[in-house]
C-alpha cells in the first residue's frame, strides 16, 4: 500500500529483481531509448480470468499510473478504477500495487 517499503511489501528477492527490471524497462520506454513495452493488446494467458478492462487497468498500474491518471486515460470514473483494482487483487491473489505490477511483468503485460 501507499508508503509501504519494499521490505514491508512481502516481495521475495526474485519479485524485487523483477520489479526493478520492470521499472528500468518502463523508464527506457518512456524516454524512447530502450526496449519497447508490449502493445496494449498483447497479453499472455491469464488463468485468473481478468477481464479486458481489468488487464488494461493492471497494465497502467504496472506502469506506475495512479487512479486519477488511469481514470483519465480510460475515460472511466476513479471509483470504477478502484473497483477494477480490488477485483485484480482478488483474482491475482495480490495484496498491493507492487505485487500486481510484478504479476503483470511476469505475464509480459508491460
Domain that holds residue 33: 11-106
Q: How many residues does the chain have?
A: 110
CATH of the domain at 60: 3.40.50.2300
89 contacts 7 by C-beta, under 8 angstroms: no
Q: In the numeric block, which cell numbers belong to residue 70?
A: 488511469
Can you give the pLDDT at residue 2?
54
Count of domains in the chain?
1
Per-residue confidence band for 27, with pLDDT thresholds at 50, 70 and 90 = low
Task: Give, to the nearest 10 degrees, the angle between helix 67-74 and helix 78-92.
Answer: 110
Cα Rg of the chain (Å, integer)? 13
Can you give the pLDDT at residue 61?
95
Asked if the structure places residue 17 within a domain, the reply is yes
Largest CA distance in the chain: 36
Phi, psi of 76 (to 5 degrees): -130, 165
Q: In the numeric block, which cell numbers belong to residue 27?
A: 523508464
Asked if the structure places residue 2 within a domain, the reply is no
| Entry pTM | 0.62
Q: What is the pLDDT of residues 43-73, one digit of tens each?
A: 444 556 899 999 999 999 999 999 999 999 9
Asked if the structure places residue 43 within a domain, the reply is yes
Q: How many CB atoms lie under 10 A from the CB of residue 74?
A: 16
Can you give the pLDDT at residue 30?
61
Amino acid at each position: 500500500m501507499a508508503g509501504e517499503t519494499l521490505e514491508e511489501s512481502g516481495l521475495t528477492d526474485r519479485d524485487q529483481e523483477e520489479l526493478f527490471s520492470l521499472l528500468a524497462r518502463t523508464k527506457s520506454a518512456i524516454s524512447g531509448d530502450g526496449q519497447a513495452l508490449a502493445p496494449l493488446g498483447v497479453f499472455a494467458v491469464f488463468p485468473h480470468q481478468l477481464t479486458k478492462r481489468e488487464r488494461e487497468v493492471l497494465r497502467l498500474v504496472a506502469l506506475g499510473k495512479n487512479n486519477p491518471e488511469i481514470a483519465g486515460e480510460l475515460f472511466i470514473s476513479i471509483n470504477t478504477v478502484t473497483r477494477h483494482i480490488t477485483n485484480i487483487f482478488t483474482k491475482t491473489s495480490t495484496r498491493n500495487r507492487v505485487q500486481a505490477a510484478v504479476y503483470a511483468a511476469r505475464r509480459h503485460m508491460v
